[in-house]
Amino acid sequence: METGCCVYILRCRDGTLYTGWTNRLSHRVKAHNQGKGAKYTKARRPVTLVYWEKVPDKGAALRRERAVKKLSRAEKLALIARFEKETKAV
């Protein structure tokens, strides 16, 4: 997934989850792992991409990012589990 806007979740080294959005997913994950992605992830490297979804545009990405950030940890873990199950089935 290289183009278009995405909302993503990273699992940090300490087990915490980070949610963000980007229009260049692999580049953004690489930036996080180089300590250039976000202040939060800088001290929690390495990070692993555990969830992503494509959205139509920046506005949709910002709205979806906000919605995902409002989810409880349990809800985010369920979202990740469904994503992993769906991507393994493909």
- 3-state SS string for the chain: CCCCEEEEEEECCCCCEEEEEECCHHHHHHHHHCCCCCHHHHCCCCCEEEEEEEECCHHHHHHHHHHHHHCCHHHHHHHHHHHHHHHHHC
62: in domain = no
33: in domain = yes
Min mean pLDDT across 6-10, 36-40, 70-74, 86-90 is at: 86-90
Q: List the CATH number of the domain containing 33.
A: 3.40.1440
**And the tokens for 74?**
């349990």
pLDDT tens digits for range 62-76: 999 999 999 999 999
- Per the structure, the complete domain to which residue 39 belongs is given by 5-56+67-89
9: in domain = yes
Number of structural domains found in the chain: 1
Reported pTM: 0.93
The pLDDT of residue 90 is 64
For residues 3-32, give the mean pLDDT. 95
Res. 31 pLDDT band, cuts 50 70 90:
very high
